[in-house]
C-alpha cells in the first residue's frame, strides 16, 4: 500500500522546467514508445509487401486498375509492372479498348524508385498492384 501511495503522490507532483505534472510526462513517454512500435510494425509490413511483389515479378506481371472521375466522366487507368533485363518496366494506359492512350512506358531500376514515382506523379500506389 505504501508503494501505491508513493506512486500516486509522485504522479500528482509538478516538476521540471515547464512545471508539468509527472503523470503527463509518463503519458508522453508511453505514447512515444507506442508510436515507435507502430512505426516499426508499419515498416515491417511495407518490407514484406515489397518482397512479395519482387518475388511475384520473377514469374508474372503485376497489374492495377483505377477508375477516376475527370470532367464528370469515369476514366479507366490500367497499370502494369513487369520485370525486364535491367530492372522493372512500368506501363500505364488511359481509357478502354479501342480508345487506349499510353500515359507512361518507362524503365526503373528498383521498386523503391517505382514507389516514389507512382506516389509523386500518378494516382497509383505500389500497394495497388497484385
pLDDT at residue 44, rounded to an integer? 92
- Percentages helix, strand, coil for the chain (3-state, rounded to 5) are 45, 30, 25
Predicted pLDDT of residue 55: 75
Digitized pLDDT (tens) for each residue of the chain, 130 residues in all: 788 888 788 877 887 777 788 888 889 889 999 999 999 999 999 888 888 887 777 778 889 999 988 888 888 999 999 888 788 899 999 887 777 788 889 999 988 899 899 999 988 998 888 8
β-pair partners for 76: 67
pTM above 0.85? no
Closest CA to 58 of 87, 81, 83: 83
CA distances from 75 to 53, 59, 64, 81, 93 (A): 26, 30, 14, 20, 11
On the question of a cis peptide bond just before residue 40, with omega within 30 degrees of 0, the verdict is: no
Query: Of all helices (H) and strands (E), which one includes residue 81?
Result: strand 73-83
Query: What are the domain boundaries of the chain?
Result: 2-48, 57-128
Give which of 102, 130, 104 is closest to 117, Cα–Cα: 104
Distance of CA 93 to the CA centre of its chain: 23
**Strand partners for 70:** 73
What is the pLDDT, as a whole number, of residue 39?
A: 95
Amino acid 116: pLDDT: 93
Amino acid at each position: 500500500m505504501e508503494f501505491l501511495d508513493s506512486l500516486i503522490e509522485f504522479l500528482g507532483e509538478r516538476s521540471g522546467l515547464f512545471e508539468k505534472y509527472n503523470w503527463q510526462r509518463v503519458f508522453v513517454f508511453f505514447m512515444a514508445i507506442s508510436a515507435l512500435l507502430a512505426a516499426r510494425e508499419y515498416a515491417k509490413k511495407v518490407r514484406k509487401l515489397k518482397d512479395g511483389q519482387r518475388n511475384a515479378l520473377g514469374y508474372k506481371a503485376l497489374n492495377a486498375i483505377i477508375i477516376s472521375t475527370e470532367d464528370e466522366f469515369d476514366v479507366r487507368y490500367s497499370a502494369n509492372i513487369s520485370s525486364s533485363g535491367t530492372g522493372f518496366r512500368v506501363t500505364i494506359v488511359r481509357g478502354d479498348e479501342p480508345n487506349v492512350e499510353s500515359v507512361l512506358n518507362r524503365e526503373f531500376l528498383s521498386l523503391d524508385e517505382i514507389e516514389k514515382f507512382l506516389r509523386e506523379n500518378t494516382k497509383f500506389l505500389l500497394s495497388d498492384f497484385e
